[in-house]
Structure 1
Amino acid sequence: MKTRARPYDLKLRLTILGAVLGCCGVVLVGRAAHMQLLDNDFYQHEGDARFLREVPIATSRGMIMDRNGEPLAVSTPVESVWANPKELLQHPERLPELAKALGIPEDVLTQRIAQRSGKEFVFLRRHINPDDAQAVVARGIPGVYSQREFRRFYPHGEVMAHVLGFTNIDDQGQEGVELAFNDWLTGKPGAQRVIRDRRGRIVENVDLIRAAQPGKDITLSIDRRIQYLAYRELKAALLANHARSGSVVVLDVPTGEILAMVNQPSYNPNAREAAEPGVHRNRAVTDVVEPGSVMKAMTVMAALENGVDPNITLDTNPGIMMLGKYPIRDTSNHGVVTLEGLLQHSSNIGAAKLGMGMSNDHFYDVLHRFGFGTSTGSGFPGESAGVLAPARSWGPVEKATIAYGYGVSVTPLQLAQAYAAMANEGRLMPPTFIRGGEGSGRQVMDPRIARQVLLMLESVTRAGGSAPKAAVTGYHVAGKTGTSRKASAGGYQKRYVSLFAGVVPLDHPKFAMVVVINEPNGRDYYGGLVSAPVFHNVMDGALRLMDVPPDKVEEWYAQQPAPVAAPTIADVADGNVIDEAPAAPAAPAAEAPATAAALAPGALR
């Protein structure tokens, strides 16, 4: 017998379905409430991980200024464009547009992105104008963003290049002061939390994690005006004499502060990539030369300290002296000379005789006290200590050649420091690039002896000396020329280094300056003709810039232009007004050509 089916109850089924759905709704609402209100930490973290980002806050590097507060190195804000390769590669059709906007070849950009396809960050172009960067980002290309950075700018270009050095693209010091004081100049970047949308745009600044700290400023001892003078005159001298390279150092005598330091050839630190690596080094502290006759002032001081009578005379007849099998020659026969005459005429024989009269230990000790053979302590990266062999290794020949500047190698900064010490009454000051950062120094020579030799050196810049071209009108100038041949594996070549070291004014010394010109190839190559004029031109301007009063007042007044009465109407009508400069005075006599010594060929003054 068949069973009858129950009648279809629509109302019951709807009731059951509604109850089930209601229960599900309650469960969902309860679960949502639990997640939103009671147990929300995990999901909040997951949500933040997708939209909350910690981004760095760029900070500027400290400014470098000259002694008068003029900016020498500053940091300017720029933008860098970067991309997320994973995101960008999902839209390869936008790569040609991006390449054109960035000014990068499309194949180069494509290769760069493809090589970093597994990364989430790659720089596309760094340190560009902020407006240009924003124009690229504004195109809305997925995965392309920009960030703030700072770029170093050097307003004075190659004039200050070797002192300041430069930074790399990450704003880290690579050479010069930028490297020496990198930790001081470098700031500490900050950090903040932000919310980014799905396109990577910042829509909200959530929290400042760490404030950015700018780098600290530095005030150098360099005087921008004297630096320009030295740069201009050195460059002109190299061009005029077809020289290979050169250096100039100017020190403040009482403090040891470096007022100017220039080298040629130079480079533009704003376009450092375009320069040859070899020109980045600061030759004034890294390169050494045999100083030649500039060393004779040290020899005379050592002899006086050793007990030599200041009024002694030395017989240099007949202009040649045999030391064993080696001859020592002067440029000419100077006959019997005093110590002042030895310096004025730059006698190699006289200097050798003084050197031979001292013990090795005493002579070495004096040179070492004046800083030869050891670093000056300036703190400049890559500074050379020079070469001064131990006294025990000196034979008679070595000691004689050292007495007139061969067999010892020094940097221009070491020479300037030694002459500044002589001018500072025998007190050696550590050279410094920081204004007000001078030390106490140390006494290396009896003040009376240092003053005696300094007064003798004035004869070098007077008529009859080897460097009248170094004289500065209105000021007593002391100095010494040097012209040395360059050493090679087979002896000495016919390539020269021309030097001049001087101090001015003599009554109250303010400046010590050294000029080194490497391989002049013009008609002249003597220090008195090539380097001494650079000293004159730089000091003539520096003395006035620093308001140093003349110590030869009568001469200074005599050189001032006489007042000219205003022309009358009658003079103009009669054509009696003459607009013509007076004739230039005759140039002083040049130093005599030198005869090469077999002992140290070309031991010139």
Structure 2
Amino acid sequence: FHEGRPGGQRGRLVITLAILLLSFAIFIGRAVYLQAIQAPRMAQRAADRMRYTHDLLPDRGAITDRNGSALARSESAVLVFVDPQMISRNGVDERAEMSRSQQAKAAAAPKAVAKILAKHLGGYPEDYREALTKKDKSGRLSRYSIVKHQVPSYTFDQIKAEMKDGGWYGVFSSNDPVRSYPSGTLAASLIGFVNTEGRGSAGLEYSLDKKLTGTRGKESYEASTYGRIPLGHETLIPATNGNSYTLTLDAQLQLSVQNALEAQMHASKAESGQAIVMDVKTGEVLAMASAPGFDPKDYGKAKANQLRNHAIADNYEPGSVQKVITMAALADQGIVNADTHVVVPRTLPSGGSHIKDAFDHDTLHLTARGVIAKSSNIGTTLLTRQTDKSTLTKYLQAFNLGKPTGIELPGEATGSIPPASMADYTRDQVSFGQGMSVTAIQEAAAVAAVVNGGVYHQPRILKSGVDGNGETVEIPTGKAHRVISRRASSTVMDMMESVVTLTPDRQVPGYRTAGKTGTAERIDPSCHCYRGYTASYVTVGPVEDPRILTYVVINSPSKGSHQGSGIALPVGRQIMSVALPQFGVPPSRTKAPKKPLEYTP
């Protein structure tokens, strides 16, 4: 038996050596695998954990009035975000082993950071738990979690200082400007507002949203607990700021118009109202007021009637202001001049009913000028019956009625005009502004064409623009076309001036102005019946060389007069007395002549 022991020992030695060699081979293989094969992947994973990527938000473009006064602009603010993974280790690299004190600090970090955020951003520490413990798709703590948008920069400075003092890590910021409206309620329905997601939700903020917003950038960088790694890999795609726009509006005039309109709205307890001031030579809208208004900073409290831009969105029957358009069509055809004679009976049969005037009278002998001055429905109808319906429709279309004007605002209504195949009684109604509908911007632009030598200018609200680099942005110029002759334009101006000279209280001191009042029944959509009134007044000046037009509409007044001459005319006169001198229009050098409104048969 003793002779076999050496062989057994050798066998065990061989086995032991084999096991050692196999273990060594496995170790070497594992090392090679980790170093040669897995090393790049592990390095990439480590690098990914140190890499931060987030969007760079552009500054939203500004909106200013024609003189540079800010109506909407972006003010400095930041997006506060956190790195939940960094907070969980309080900045200690995950590849490093933490000491007991570091572990204790890391365990306290989430609550401490939440307390700091609640102190400066509002709410309770518990409100921030979700953001501080957010996980990514793999189930690991995220490297990026948004806490709050549009935080004032000085507030974040306070957060940063308190984080530093406490030795806490993981809270960061990036540019996230807040939208402000320095002029408050001024032209709010026209400017609109930006919602909590940063998107334009009404007015120009909505229609120009993509252009105002600009393009987001992206930043990617490597960072450690102590900030960016100086020689780390970085990628930067800068944000492109949005376009900024200058409007045709004049903020001072806009304020005067809004105040005058809102005062009359309150006095007459009207449902709504709108007022437009235009430069008839260019189509530029100098002021556009819609009441009731709202504060874009607090748009959530506004009702639908306040958010609505009534000047472009409301369809209504224009009433007697439409007689200006009717007379323009008739004068252009040579059917009437200012002194054309019209025998006006007490009533006029039409479509199984009778047309009446707003004032009771026996048979009148009026000039066409008198028909406009006294606002005779009967006289206007009798003159209109001298043209065919298809021709009347063509003139309405030429004045751009029945379709949007194309002004750079969202939500513009189309209005409606009857076809050439309309019934005779419909033609009669249309002649004095019923049986059809318009918007205030349509009617203002149409009358502007009548008084501007017969040339229609598409209404405009944008004057100029620049992109995020300060380069000029092309703004389409409004289209223009001739509708009536200069002679016809002069004839209608003659008629309209007689409206103002009828009584002294209609005149603007120092200026010869022309105008036309309107009163029409309103259609109530709830019953599809007439209920309430629309009172309006359009005025232009100076008569010698028309420049400024004002159009005022008061909807459903419930206190006092419902006539255009009673509640809309005073507002229009007040606005004109401000607008004409403000835009440097020289006073008239001649007095308005008194011309015959009636004739002796």
What range describes the TM-score normalised by the shorter chain of this pair? 0.7 to 0.9
TM (norm. structure 2) is 0.80
Distance 2:301 2:86 in 1: 35
What amino acid sits opposite 1:269 in the alignment? P
Q: How does 1:173-212 map to 2 (within 5 A)?
A: 173-197=200-224, 202=228, 204=230, 206-212=233-239
Distance 2:266 2:583 in 1: 28
Who is 1:476 aligned against? 512
Distance 1:289 1:410 in 2: 6
1:148 shift after superposition: 2.4
Contact 1:249 1:261 in 2 (8 A): yes
Who is 2:44 aligned against? 45
Q: How does 1:111-122 map to 2 (within 5 A)?
A: 120=142, 122=145
Contact 2:70 2:183 in 1 (8 A): no
Report SS of the residue matched to 2:403: coil
CA shift in 2, pair 1:463/1:422, >3 Å: same
Who is 1:430 aligned against? 458
Who is 1:418 aligned against? 446
CA shift in 2, pair 1:332/1:443, >3 Å: same
Match of 1:338 among 358, 367, 373: 367
Contact 2:275 2:551 in 1 (8 A): yes
Who is 1:67 aligned against? 66
CA shift in 2, pair 1:401/1:266, >3 Å: same
Q: How does 1:281-296 map to 2 (within 5 A)?
A: 281-296=308-323
What amino acid sits opposite 1:189 in the alignment? R
- Within the alignment, does 1:133 sit opposite 2:174 as a pair? no
- Within the alignment, does 1:150 sit opposite 2:150 as a pair? no
What amino acid sits opposite 1:130 in the alignment? S
Q: Deviations over 1:381-414 (max 9, x none)?
A: 111111112121x112211111111111111101
Who is 1:461 aligned against? 500
1:234 shift after superposition: 0.8
Contact 2:169 2:225 in 1 (8 A): no
Distance 1:128 1:93 in 2: 21
CA shift in 2, pair 1:278/1:554, >3 Å: closer
Distance 2:384 2:203 in 1: 38
Mean Cα deviation higher: 423-432 or 53-62: 53-62
What amino acid sits opposite 1:80 in the alignment? L
CA shift in 2, pair 1:265/1:112, >3 Å: farther
Contact 1:419 1:502 in 2 (8 A): no
Report SS of the residue matched to 1:435: strand
- Within the alignment, does 1:439 sit opposite 2:439 as a pair? no
Distance 2:38 2:590 in 1: 92
Report SS of the residue matched to 1:157: coil
Distance 1:457 1:470 in 2: 12
Mean Cα deviation higher: 124-133 or 407-416: 124-133
TM (norm. structure 1) is 0.80
Distance 1:510 1:355 in 2: 29
What amino acid sits opposite 1:376 in the alignment? T
1:62 shift after superposition: 1.4
Who is 1:254 aligned against? 281
Distance 2:200 2:289 in 1: 19
Q: How does 1:216-235 map to 2 (within 5 A)?
A: 216-235=243-262
Mean Cα deviation higher: 500-509 or 469-478: 469-478
Distance 2:553 2:121 in 1: 47
CA shift in 2, pair 1:107/1:355, >3 Å: farther
1:524 shift after superposition: 1.5
Distance 1:351 1:553 in 2: 30
Contact 2:292 2:305 in 1 (8 A): no
CA shift in 2, pair 1:255/1:240, >3 Å: same
Distance 2:124 2:573 in 1: 54
Distance 1:105 1:129 in 2: 19
Distance 2:304 2:133 in 1: 32
- Within the alignment, does 1:54 sit opposite 2:66 as a pair? no
1:222 shift after superposition: 0.9
Distance 1:262 1:299 in 2: 27
Contact 1:134 1:146 in 2 (8 A): no
- Taking only aligned residues, the RMSD between alpha carbons, in angstroms, comes to 3.4
1:251 shift after superposition: 0.9
Distance 2:587 2:62 in 1: 36
Contact 1:81 1:144 in 2 (8 A): yes
1:432 shift after superposition: 0.8
Distance 1:265 1:280 in 2: 8
Distance 1:125 1:277 in 2: 29
Contact 2:348 2:356 in 1 (8 A): yes
Who is 1:350 aligned against? 379
Distance 1:206 1:231 in 2: 56
- Within the alignment, does 1:397 sit opposite 2:425 as a pair? yes
What amino acid sits opposite 1:445 in the alignment? I
1:304 shift after superposition: 2.4
1:207 shift after superposition: 2.8
What amino acid sits opposite 1:479 in the alignment? G
Q: Deviations over 1:412-470 (max 9, x none)?
A: 10111011101111111111112265335001112211221112100001134xxx544
- Within the alignment, does 1:451 sit opposite 2:494 as a pair? no
1:194 shift after superposition: 1.9
Contact 2:336 2:368 in 1 (8 A): no
Could you list the runs of 5+ residues in structure 2 that have no partner in the other structure?
A: 7-16, 89-106, 465-475, 593-601
Contact 2:134 2:145 in 1 (8 A): no
Distance 2:367 2:73 in 1: 55
Contact 2:246 2:462 in 1 (8 A): yes
Distance 1:104 1:116 in 2: 22
Distance 1:242 1:114 in 2: 55
Who is 2:411 aligned against? 382
1:31 shift after superposition: 6.9
What amino acid sits opposite 2:413 in the alignment? S
Who is 1:368 aligned against? 397
Aligned residue pairs total 532
Contact 1:165 1:176 in 2 (8 A): yes
Report SS of the residue matched to 2:516: strand
Q: Deviations over 1:285-335 (max 9, x none)?
A: 111111110011111122223441423211113x22222431211112261
Mean Cα deviation higher: 505-514 or 164-173: 164-173
CA shift in 2, pair 1:357/1:438, >3 Å: same
Distance 1:171 1:182 in 2: 10
Report SS of the residue matched to 2:287: strand
Q: Deviations over 1:348-372 (max 9, x none)?
A: 1111112222211011111111111
CA shift in 2, pair 1:104/1:294, >3 Å: same
1:347 shift after superposition: 0.3
Report SS of the residue matched to 1:531: helix
